[in-house]
Amino acid sequence: MAFFGLNNRTRGKRLAGGTLWLALAALAATLFYATSPLFAQATSGSAGPALSGAASGSLTLWTDPKTGQVFTRPGRGRVPLIINTGGGASAQHAVEEQLEEQRARTAKLARQLDQEQKQTAAVTKQVKDVTPAWQDYLANYKNKVSIGTQVWFGYSLFSHTGWGPQYLTQQTWPGPGNDGYNNFFLHRGYLNFFFFPTEDWTVRVTPNIYTMQGSTANQALGGNAGIPNTNVGNLGYRIKYAYLQYNTPFKNLGIDAIKTDKIVIGVQPQPITAWEEDLYGYRFVNLTTWNMSEASTYPGLSVQGPITFGKDNLQYIDYNIGVFDNASFHAFEGTNTKEVQGRVSVYPFGARWRFQGLGITSYYAFGYGNNTPDQAQLSTPFKGPNSEIERLAEIVHYDAENWGLAFEYDWGRNAWSPGNMFSGSGPAAVYGLTPNPAVVPKSVAIAQAAYVNLADALLNNGRSYQQGYNLFGHYHLPETRYTLFGWIEQWNPNTQVKNDPFDFQRVVLGVAYQWNEYLRFALDTQNTLFYHSQYNMPVSYAKKFNWSAPKGFTGSSIPDVVTRDTHMFMLNAEFVF
C-alpha cells in the first residue's frame, strides 16, 4: 500500500532511518490542514477514510508494533496510534470567534466611515452654498458702486494784481499794489460716489472742498480768556451733488427716441454750466461765462437726456429742463418762488457722441433774487437782490475728436452784482470793511468808497442788462500729447451804462499736456482787461443810477473809475478718476 507516493522498494530502504521523521511530517501536515475534517476509520480494518479524530480534538493513526511503521489505515497486525491534537476544534472555534469579532469591528468601522462621508458631503454642500453667496455679493457690489475723485490743483503767479472776478472757484488774491503775489491752491476736491442699486436708479453723492470764510470775530472763552477764529482759510467739505436719478421713466412708453431720458431730483448741476465745461474741456483752467455769476449747482428737479432718431441712433437733440431753488447749493433758500432753467442743444446732422459735429445750443433761466417775501417788497435804493433775474446763452459749436471751436452770445437781466464783479479781489468797502490807513490814505479810501458805491449803482440797481461775447476752443497737436486751448471773452455788466468802467475782456491762452487717461497739466496766462481808457465819471451821471456819495466825498466826479488790469500765469493740474 502506497505511503505518500513512494514505492515499496524505496520505502523499505528508508524505513529504518526516516520512520520517525515521516511520522512527524505527517503529523505536521495534518495539523496544518486541520481545518478540513479528517475521516476516521474503524480499527476493524474496514475500508474508509484514512485519518480520523480531528473533529474530536485527536488524531488516530495505525502502527505496526513489529516494524514501527505508521499507517493511515488499519490493517493486519496494526494497532491504533491516537494522537491528541490539543483541542483543534476549539482552536478553530477560537479563530472563528476572532474572525467574527474582526468582521464585526470592520463592519462598525465601515458604518462609521460611511457616516463621516455623509457628514463631509453635507459640510461640503454647505460651504458650496455659502461661497457663491459671498461671490455673488462682491460681484454685485462691484457692479453697483463706483467711487472716484476729481482733484484740481494750481500754482498762480500774478505779474499784476488788480480787482476783478475769479478765474477759478476758491481763488482769491490781494488788490492792486501786490504784484508778484503767488500761491498754490486746491480749487476742487470731489469725492464721487455713485450707487446703481438697479438699472432704473442711480444715486450720486459728491462732497467737495471749499475755503472757509466767515466772521473774523474771535470768541471769548470763560471770563478771562479768548480764542482765535480758526475758520477762515481752512478747507472744509460740503455737499456739491446729492441726487437721485431715475434712469428709465420713459423706457416703457414705446418711444425709442426718449427711452434713455432721465429725471433727476436733488442737489444737481444746473443745465448750462456743467454741460459747457465738458464742451470746453478746460474747466480746470478757468470758469465758463455764466459760472462767473451763477453757481453751478442748485437743489431742484429736472428732466434731461438725448433725443435720438434713425437706425444709427444718432443724437439730434440734447436737453436739460428743470425747476430749482433761487438759492444755490451753498445758501439758504429764502424766496417763495422758484427758478426755471432750460437748455436745448440741436445737432442738425446728428451726433454719434455727446458733442460730435455741429451743434446749436440755447439756454435760458428765469428766477428771482434770493430774499424772503417780507423783505423783497421793501423800498430800497438798489433792488438788484430782490429783482427778477434772467440769463440767456446762445452757442454755436463744432466738436471733433482732435479739436473744437465755439462762439457764444450771452444776455442777462439783473444777473451780475458787485459780488460777482469782485469775486476774486475787490475794494475793502465792497465787503463792508475799512482799508488799512497805513496802506490806503484817507483820501484814497474815500475815493475807493465812491467807486464801490458806483459798482452798486451800476450793477445792483434792479434794472441792469448784461451782454457778452465769447470764443473758445482747443486744438490737439498731432502726434504729440500737447493741446492748445483758449478762451477770449468780452463782458458788459450793464449795457445801460455809457462807457461802463466795469466792462472787461478776459483772455485765457494756454497749452495742455496729457500725461495719461487720468492726469493732465496746463500752463496758461489769464488776463482781465478793463479796456476803456481811464476817466472820471461825473457824479451827475452816476446819480441817474441812484449813486450816493460816501461819507466825506465832496467831489463832482468819481476819479479813476476804470480799475487796473490783472495779469496772471498759472500752472494747473487735473486728476480725474
Partner 1 sequence: MNRIRSNLLKLSGFLKAGAMAGAIALATAGCATMATTADPPSAPAAAVSQTASVKPVTPPPDVTDCAIVTLSTPTLYACGGKVYTVFQLQHLREQASAAKAGE
Q: Which is nearer to partner 1, 26 or 351 (CB)?
A: 351
Contact (Cβ atoms closer than 8 angstroms) between residue 155 and residue 182? yes
Q: Which of 437, 359, 456 is nearest to 398 (CA)?
A: 359
Backbone phi, psi, residue 459, to 5°: -110, -10
Q: Which is nearer to partner 1, 312 or 374 (CB)?
A: 312
Q: Which is nearer to partner 1, 110 or 400 (CB)?
A: 400
Contact (Cβ atoms closer than 8 angstroms) between residue 279 and residue 355? yes
Q: Which is nearer to partner 1, 306 or 462 (CB)?
A: 306
Mapping DSSP to helix (H, G, I), strand (E, B) and coil, where does residue 172 land? Answer: coil
CB of 518 to partner 1, least distance (A): 6
Backbone phi, psi, residue 519, to 5°: -130, 130
Q: How many CA atoms lie within 13 A of 1 on its CB side?
A: 10
Query: What does the binding site for partner 1 look like in residue numbers (CB under 8 A)?
Result: 146-150, 192, 194, 277-278, 281, 283, 352-356, 399-402, 404, 476, 480-481, 483, 514, 516-518, 576-577
Sequential DSSP letters for 100-168: HHHHHHHHHHHHHHHHHHHHHHHHHHHHHHHHHHHHHHHHHHHHHEEEEEEEEEEEEEEEE---B--SS
CB of 370 to partner 1, least distance (A): 28
Q: Which is nearer to partner 1, 53 or 281 (CB)?
A: 281
Contact (Cβ atoms closer than 8 angstroms) between residue 353 and residue 433? no
Q: Which is nearer to partner 1, 207 or 381 (CB)?
A: 207
Phi-psi region at 534: left, alpha or beta (left = phi > 0; alpha = psi -120 to 50): beta
Other Cβ atoms closer than 10 A to 330:
12
Other Cβ atoms closer than 10 A to 28:
10
CB of 64 to partner 1, least distance (A): 32
Contact (Cβ atoms closer than 8 angstroms) between residue 60 and residue 81? yes
CB of 485 to partner 1, least distance (A): 12
CB of 283 to partner 1, least distance (A): 7
Q: Which of 563, 574, 490 is nearest to 530 (CA)?
A: 563
Q: Which is nearer to partner 1, 383 or 520 (CB)?
A: 520
CB of 329 to partner 1, least distance (A): 17
Contacts 24+ apart (CB under 8 A), 74-78: 74/41, 74/42, 74/43, 74/44, 74/45, 74/46, 75/1, 75/45, 76/45
Q: Which is nearer to partner 1, 199 or 312 (CB)?
A: 312
Q: Which is nearer to partner 1, 476 or 567 (CB)?
A: 476
The three three-digit cell numbers of residue 56, written as one number:
474530536
CB of 148 to partner 1, least distance (A): 3
CB of 17 to partner 1, least distance (A): 20
CB of 240 to partner 1, least distance (A): 12
CB of 574 to partner 1, least distance (A): 8
Q: Which is nearer to partner 1, 79 or 523 (CB)?
A: 523
Alpha-carbon distance 570 to 182, whole Å?
9
